[in-house]
């Protein structure tokens, strides 16, 4: 009664907003510039088809590796600084904990001092006994490190997928050490899977000096002009292929042009330095055992490489035959660095020095990037496929068609029943039910939620559920009428007294939905989201809007009777 | 069922029959628990780990042909089941276990490639269309199972607390007991008809818990309302009157939800069909239990409380 005008306004506003949000799903409004919402409902992979992969990231393995390296650096440094120690070891290297076994009681203080002097930002002493000092990576450092490993993996996968050209890939972190990859559309799931799983290609190539960089620049510019393309509008790998095709015959035998990102450019598209490389060296990532960040005598970061025995021999020959030339380290056709060979490098280890002129942090990042790239072919940690779900487009279309049909028939039966059983109030309830469904789709669309098959089951259920509020109200109104109250009082009391039951029922259902949302994954969360949204819209449509309609009929138009 | 002494609280003496139905419920729950314990739950690949491939052919491929060709790969136990109109099949295998989870994952992936290979090769003439592939590794499966059980546990806990605070302590055990009753019986029926329990079925059972609770709460709400002002007639009278007054509403709400779930069950297939099935079964028991289990149990709790108060 009170504030009917105000409530009518809110009800109309709510319904209008729902329409605004739902309409782009039904009609193509992308051309209508003034329409406020362009967003469409997202369909889950189980409906539109596609590939869903969960990859486990071996974060522990990376930490383990890092701890092992830390142990050998510590040993070397302690020897250099004359700190007496018996051994440095780790029982659980994947936890990032190291134990320094001290030589004698007096040495303990020296070890502790060494750790706090040299590793104050990285390690904390967590315990000590008479014979040993235990230190561990700071939690913040370790978490940051793990997170970086995952972010880097995500970035790498994203780059590979982008190369592949999937329409709307979604690549995200799931839990502490998982990556969820969702690729809608299933055109070539097998190839996409391969792309994610393959490691990047690493090559060591000798830089040819048969053409000067200036000559190369000119030739490339001509080829770009003739072929009407450039690096910014072409995928990098395609660009390289096109440039080399265009220059075929103009370049010396067994050479190819690859590029390096210019030192001050943000991306390779923004600035690239061409290199003419010999393609006949045949020394790749398979030759490498390990790569890690080290420091030169001035403390500048560099990348240390360790070859396996076969690789060491080849590398020694290659460097021996090309003294004075540059050797390019090429990752996925991108030149990462091109140091000059000063001498034959035997013994299986080598270093990549980084170009100077930058701050230490920048160099450090680059050294880390190169070493991780070299170690696992651009993926910082090894990946393991934990879960794969693939749905073909025909299945999704079939499934949603049938589920939709089921929902329509169910809704129709309910509406007919309501009209027969509750007459005019049944008509109000049916209108409310329609608004309820409209509201669900509107909210799903605006929240950018994903509609899955279980989600459709959730909506169908909500339809059944939503009737509950109407039934509670209508039964109350009947009771009040039976007690001899007039229609106005009956309606007011009916809504009023049904409220506590409606709220209690909704709160408990909402509680289940929240628990589902928290523990569920994938489609189950979709189910929970629709359930939650259904509760909100049901309160609005079946309680608020239906009351406005009934109040308008009874109070404004003075209906003396309202069949219930 | 109507008798002259009960006219004041309504047509049916629910509380009077509570002992009988309580016994029936107890037998059903115990039987369900025993059945589940003996037979075990057929977990689907979501929980168990493994691979499921759904493939559709043009006419003319028999289930035995598919079974034989997959069996020739020697992948351990492989299940083949026809689906839909007969020329569509679901192939399931769990994969041989490796020494580590990682190895099991790798074996699973390799096996998947083999099965895909043999199907597309052998039945090339029948136009194989691989419509769905699900592969779940062992650790993901174990995790999903743990999370699922945790979800049920927390759900019941939240409800217990909410009901205790919103109503009265004596209401809470009845509500939770009744939810446990519904969930266990529904699960047992589900397993009895040979369906597999997957993540979405667990979600359906959780929703059922929500629905059944919804029913129970509405009756509790009415009990609380009638209780104020009818103290002289006794709690038994209050409960009977409440259930009677809410009976129409309970039946209509359960009926409409049942109809919408039934329509989904009839028309949809796959996951949605299974969800709809468990909801249909659950609504039946949920409605029954909110009438015959939850409310009478409140009476029992009330008596206990009263006795204790008297003793003190």
Tokens of A174: 């799931």
Q: Are residue B83 and residue B181 in the same domain, yes or no?
A: no
Q: Are residue B21 and residue B71 in the same domain, yes or no?
A: no
Mean pLDDT of chain A: 83
Q: Which residues of chain B make contact with A387, given a CB cutoff of 8 A?
A: 135-137, 140
Name the burial class of residue B300, with classes exposed (0-12), middle (13-18) and buried (19+) by CB atoms within 10 angstroms of its CB: middle
The b-or-e profile of A275-301 (16+ CB within 10 A means b, else e) is bbbbeebebbbebbeebbbbeeeeebb
Q: Are residue B146 and residue B231 in the same domain, yes or no?
A: yes
Which carries the bigger pLDDT value, residue A395 or residue A541?
Answer: A541
Q: Are residue B223 and residue B110 in the same domain, yes or no?
A: no
pLDDT per residue as tens digits for the range B142-193: 888 888 888 888 888 888 888 888 888 888 888 888 888 999 999 999 999 9
Q: Which residues of chain B make contact with A483, given a CB cutoff of 8 A?
A: none
Mean pLDDT, to the nearest integer, of A24-50? 83
Q: How many residues does chain A have?
A: 564
User: Smallest CA–CA separation between A200 and chain B, in Å?
Assistant: 20
The continuous run of DSSP H or E covering B54 comes out as: strand B50-56
Residue B21 lies in a domain: yes
Residue B1 lies in a domain: no
Helices A487-519, B138-166: crossing angle, 10 deg rounding: 150
pLDDT per residue as tens digits for the range B76-92: 788 888 887 768 899 98
pLDDT per residue as tens digits for the range B36-61: 999 998 888 888 888 999 998 888 88
Q: How far apart are CA B307 and CA A379, in angstroms?
A: 69
Helices A139-164, A59-80: crossing angle, 10 deg rounding: 130
Q: For an interface test with A, which of B207, B226, B228, B279 has the most A Cβ atoms less than 10 Å from its Cβ?
A: B207
> B3 and chain A: CB distance < 8 Å anywhere?
no
Asked whether the beta carbons of B211 and A465 are under 8 A apart, the reply is: yes
Q: Are residue B54 and residue B25 in the same domain, yes or no?
A: no
Which carries the bigger pLDDT value, residue B12 or residue A167?
Answer: B12
Residues 479-498 of A with CB under 8 A from B: 479, 497
Which carries the bigger pLDDT value, residue A190 or residue B114?
Answer: B114
Which carries the bigger pLDDT value, residue A42 or residue A11?
Answer: A11
Q: Report residue A2's pLDDT band, with 50, 70 and 90 as the boundaries.
A: low
Q: Which residues of chain B make contact with A518, given a CB cutoff of 8 A?
A: 151, 154
Mean pLDDT of chain B: 85
Residue A369: per-residue pLDDT? 65
The class of domain A1-48+400-557 in CATH terms is: mainly alpha
Assess whether pLDDT exceeds 50 at residue B6: no
Q: How far is CA A87 from CA A124, A130, A228, B116, B190, in A?
A: 18, 14, 64, 53, 61
Q: How far apart are CA B241 and CA B15, in angstroms?
A: 10
Q: Report residue B310's pLDDT band, with 50, 70 and 90 as the boundaries.
A: confident
Q: Are residue B148 and residue B77 in the same domain, yes or no?
A: no
pLDDT per residue as tens digits for the range A232-289: 777 777 788 888 888 888 888 888 899 988 877 766 777 888 999 988 877 776 777 7
Residue B241 lies in a domain: yes
Q: Give the one of A384, A403, A523 whose C-beta lies nearest to B200's C-beta.
A: A523
Instruction: Find which of A8-17, A155-164, A246-255, B233-242 is predicted with most confidence, using mean pLDDT.
Output: A8-17
Which carries the bigger pLDDT value, residue A20 or residue A77?
Answer: A20
CATH code for the domain of B66: 3.30.70.1340
Among chain A residues, the shortest Cα distance to B130 is held by A392
Residue reference for tokens 């190839």: A191
pLDDT per residue as tens digits for the range A122-155: 888 888 887 888 888 888 888 888 888 888 788 7
Classify A325 as helix, strand or coil. coil
Residue B4: per-residue pLDDT? 42
Residue A413: per-residue pLDDT? 93
Q: Report residue B1's pLDDT band, with 50, 70 and 90 as the boundaries.
A: very low
> B176 and chain A: CB distance < 8 Å anywhere?
no
Q: How far is CA A3 from CA A12, A431, A488, A498, A544, in A?
A: 14, 22, 16, 20, 13
Q: How far is CA B206 from CA A259, A381, B281, in A?
A: 57, 38, 13
Q: Are residue B34 and residue B71 in the same domain, yes or no?
A: no
Residues 190-209 of B with CB under 8 A from A: 199-200, 202-204, 206-207, 209
Q: Are residue B154 and residue B260 in the same domain, yes or no?
A: yes
Mean pLDDT, to the nearest integer, of A33-60? 85
We find that the CATH architecture of domain A59-142 is 2-Layer Sandwich (3.30)
Asked whether the beta carbons of B200 and B274 are under 8 A apart, the reply is: yes
ipTM rounded to 2 decimals = 0.84
Q: Which residues of chain A make contact with B136, given a CB cutoff of 8 A?
A: 386-387
User: B254: Cβ–Cβ under 8 A, 6 or more apart, which residues?
Assistant: B215, B283, B286, B287
User: How is chain A split into domains, by residue range?
Assistant: 1-48+400-557, 59-142, 199-378
Neighbours of A130 (CB within 10 A): 8
The class of domain A199-378 in CATH terms is: alpha beta
Instruction: Find which of A233-242, B204-213, B257-266 is predicted with most confidence, using mean pLDDT.
Output: B257-266
CA angle, B53 as apex, B49 and B54 as ends, to 5°? 135
CB contact under 8 A, B271 and A454: yes
Q: What is the dihedral of CA B162, B167, B168, B169, to 10 degrees?
A: -20
Residue B93 lies in a domain: yes
DSSP A41-98: PEEPHHHH-EEEEEEEE-HHHHHHHHHHHHHHHHHHHHHHTT---SEEE-S-GGGTEE
Residue B8 lies in a domain: no
Residue B7: per-residue pLDDT? 47
Assess whether pLDDT exceeds 60 at residue B2: no
> B211 and chain A: CB distance < 8 Å anywhere?
yes
Residue A300: per-residue pLDDT? 79
Residue B3: per-residue pLDDT? 44
Assess whether pLDDT exceeds 90 at residue A524: no
Q: Which residues of chain A make contact with B148, given a CB cutoff of 8 A?
A: 519
Residue A126: per-residue pLDDT? 85
Domain tally, chain B: 2
Helix and strand counts by DSSP (H, E) for chain A: 15, 19
Assess whether pLDDT exceeds 80 at residue A368: no
Q: How far apart are CA B12 and CA A272, in angstroms?
A: 87
CATH code for the domain of B24: 1.20.1640.10
Asked whether the beta carbons of A18 and A438 are under 8 A apart, the reply is: yes
Residue B5: per-residue pLDDT? 47
Q: Domain limits at B270?
A: 15-43+141-310
Q: Report residue A356's pLDDT band, with 50, 70 and 90 as the boundaries.
A: low
Assess whether pLDDT exceeds 80 at residue A297: no
Among A137-151, A193-207, B240-254, the least confident range: A193-207
Q: Are residue B34 and residue B180 in the same domain, yes or no?
A: yes
Residue B86 lies in a domain: yes
Residue B6 lies in a domain: no
Assess whether pLDDT exceeds 80 at residue B303: yes
Count Cα atoms within 13 angstroms, Cβ side, for B205: 27
A vs B: CB pairs below 8 A: 227
User: Which strand ranges, in their side-by-side order, compose the sheet holding A255-261?
Assistant: A272-278, A255-261, A334-337, A327-331, A202-206, A283-284
Question: To the nearest whole percent, how much of chain A has pLDDT over 90?
Answer: 15
Where does a domain end: B114, B135, B156?
Answer: B135
Cross-strand partners of A331 = A202, A334
Where does a domain end: B135, B161, B196?
Answer: B135
Mean pLDDT, to the nearest integer, of A374-399? 77
Residue B26: per-residue pLDDT? 92
Supply the DSSP symbol for A543. Answer: I
pLDDT per residue as tens digits for the range A91-112: 888 888 888 888 777 778 888 8
The pTM of the full predicted model, rounded to 2 decimals, is: 0.74
CA angle, A266 as apex, A263 and A268 as ends, to 5°? 75
Q: Are residue B153 and residue B31 in the same domain, yes or no?
A: yes
Q: How far apart are CA A555 and CA A1, in angstroms?
A: 7
Where does a domain end: B100, B117, B135?
Answer: B135
Q: Are residue B211 and residue B256 in the same domain, yes or no?
A: yes
Neighbours of B285 (CB within 10 A): 22
Mean pLDDT, to the nearest integer, of A439-460? 87
> B257 and chain A: CB distance < 8 Å anywhere?
yes
Asked whether the beta carbons of A123 and A136 are under 8 A apart, the reply is: yes
Mean pLDDT, to the nearest integer, of A540-562? 85
Residue B3 lies in a domain: no
Q: Report residue B124's pLDDT band, with 50, 70 and 90 as the boundaries.
A: confident
CB contact under 8 A, A512 and B210: yes
Residues 498-537 of A with CB under 8 A from B: 500-501, 504-505, 507-509, 511-513, 515-516, 518-524, 527-528, 531
Q: Are residue B165 and residue B205 in the same domain, yes or no?
A: yes
């Amino acid at each position: 009664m009170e504030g009917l005008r105000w409530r009518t306004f809110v009800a109309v506003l709510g319904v209008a907003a729902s329409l605004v949000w739902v309409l782009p799903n039904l009609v193509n409004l992308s051309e209508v510039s003034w329409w406020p919402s362009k967003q469409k409902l997202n369909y889950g992979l189980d409906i539109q088809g596609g590939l869903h992969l969960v990859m486990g990231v071996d974060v522990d393995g990376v930490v383990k590796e890092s701890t092992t390296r830390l142990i050998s650096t510590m040993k070397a440094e302690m020897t250099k600084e004359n700190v007496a120690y018996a051994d440095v070891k780790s029982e659980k290297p994947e936890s990032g904990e190291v134990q320094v076994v001290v030589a004698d009681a007096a040495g303990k203080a020296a070890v502790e001092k060494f750790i706090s002097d040299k590793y104050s930002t990285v390690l904390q002493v967590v315990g000590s006994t008479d014979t040993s000092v235990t230190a561990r990576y700071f939690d913040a450092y370790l978490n940051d490190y793990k997170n970086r490993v995952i972010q880097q993996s995500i970035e790498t996968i994203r780059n590979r997928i982008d190369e592949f050209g999937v329409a709307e890939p979604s690549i995200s972190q799931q839990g502490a050490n998982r990556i969820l990859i969702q690729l809608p559309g299933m055109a070539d799931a097998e190839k996409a899977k391969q792309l994610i799983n393959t490691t990047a290609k690493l090559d060591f190539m000798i830089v040819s000096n048969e053409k000067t960089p200036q000559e190369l620049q000119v030739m490339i510019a001509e080829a770009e002009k003739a072929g009407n393309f450039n690096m910014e509008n072409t995928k990098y790998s395609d660009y390289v292929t096109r440039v080399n095709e265009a220059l075929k015959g103009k370049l010396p035998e067994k050479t190819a042009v690859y590029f390096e990102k210019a030192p001050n450019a943000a991306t390779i598209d923004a600035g690239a330095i061409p290199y003419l490389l010999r393609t006949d060296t045949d020394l790749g990532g398979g030759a490498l055992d390990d790569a890690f960040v080290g420091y030169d005598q001035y403390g500048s970061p560099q990348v240390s490489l360790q070859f396996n025995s076969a690789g060491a021999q080849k590398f020694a020959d290659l460097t021996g035959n090309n003294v004075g030339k540059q050797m390019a380290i090429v990752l996925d056709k991108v030149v990462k660095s091109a140091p000059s060979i000063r001498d034959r490098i035997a013994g299986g280890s080598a270093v990549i020095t980084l170009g100077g002129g930058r701050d230490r942090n920048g160099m450090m990042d680059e050294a880390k990037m190169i070493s991780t790239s070299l170690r696992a072919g651009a993926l910082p940690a090894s990946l393991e496929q934990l879960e794969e779900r693939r749905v073909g487009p025909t299945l999704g279309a079939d499934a949603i068609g049938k589920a939709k049909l089921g929902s329509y028939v169910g809704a129709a039966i309910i509406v007919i029943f309501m009209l027969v059983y509750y007459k005019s109030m049944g008509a109000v309830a049916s209108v409310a039910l329609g608004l309820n469904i409209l509201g669900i789709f509107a909210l799903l669309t605006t929240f950018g939620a994903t509609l899955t098959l279980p989600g459709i089951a959730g909506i169908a259920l909500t339809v059944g559920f939503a009737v509950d509020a109407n039934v509670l109200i209508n039964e109350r109104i009947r009771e009040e009428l039976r007690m001899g109250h007039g229609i106005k009082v009956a309606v007011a009391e009916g809504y009023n007294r049904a409220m506590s039951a409606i709220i209690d029922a909704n709160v408990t259902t909402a509680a289940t939905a929240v628990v589902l949302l928290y523990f569920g994954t994938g489609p189950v969360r979709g189910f929970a989201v629709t359930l939650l949204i259904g509760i909100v819209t049901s309160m609005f449509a079946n309680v608020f809007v239906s009351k406005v309609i009934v109040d308008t009929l009874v109070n404004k138009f003075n209906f003396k009777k309202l069949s219930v | 069922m109507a008798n002259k002494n009960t006219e004041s609280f309504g047509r049916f003496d629910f509380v009077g029959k509570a002992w009988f139905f309580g016994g029936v419920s107890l037998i059903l729950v115990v039987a369900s628990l025993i059945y589940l314990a003996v037979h075990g739950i057929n977990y689907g690949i979501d929980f168990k780990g493994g691979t499921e491939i759904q493939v559709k052919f043009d006419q003319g491929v028999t289930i035995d042909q598919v079974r034989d060709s997959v069996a020739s790969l020697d992948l351990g136990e492989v299940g083949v089941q026809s689906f839909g109109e007969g020329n569509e099949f679901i192939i399931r295998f769990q994969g041989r276990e490796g020494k580590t989870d990682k190895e099991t994952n790798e074996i699973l992936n390799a096996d998947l490639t083999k099965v895909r290979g043999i199907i597309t090769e052998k039945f090339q003439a029948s136009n194989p269309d691989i419509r769905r592939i699900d592969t779940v590794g062992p650790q993901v499966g174990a995790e999903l199972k743990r999370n699922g059980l945790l979800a049920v546990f927390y759900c019941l806990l939240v409800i217990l607390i909410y009901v205790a605070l919103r109503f009265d302590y004596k209401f809470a055990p009845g509500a939770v007991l009744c939810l446990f009753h519904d969930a266990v019986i529904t699960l047992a029926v589900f397993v009895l008809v040979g369906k597999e329990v997957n993540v979405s079925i667990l979600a359906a059972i959780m929703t059922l818990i929500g629905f059944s609770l919804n029913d129970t709460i509405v009756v509790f709400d009415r009990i609380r309302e009638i209780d104020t002002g009818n103290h002289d007639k006794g709690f038994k009278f209050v409960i009977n009157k409440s259930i009677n007054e809410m009976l129409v509403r309970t039946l209509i709400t359960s009926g409409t939800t049942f109809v919408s779930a039934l329509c989904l069950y009839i028309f949809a297939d796959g996951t949605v069909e299974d969800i709809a099935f468990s909801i249909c079964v659950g609504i039946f028991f949920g409605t029954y239990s909110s009438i015959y289990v939850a409310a009478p149990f409140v009476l029992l709790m009330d008596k206990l409380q009263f006795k204790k108060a008297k003793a003190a």
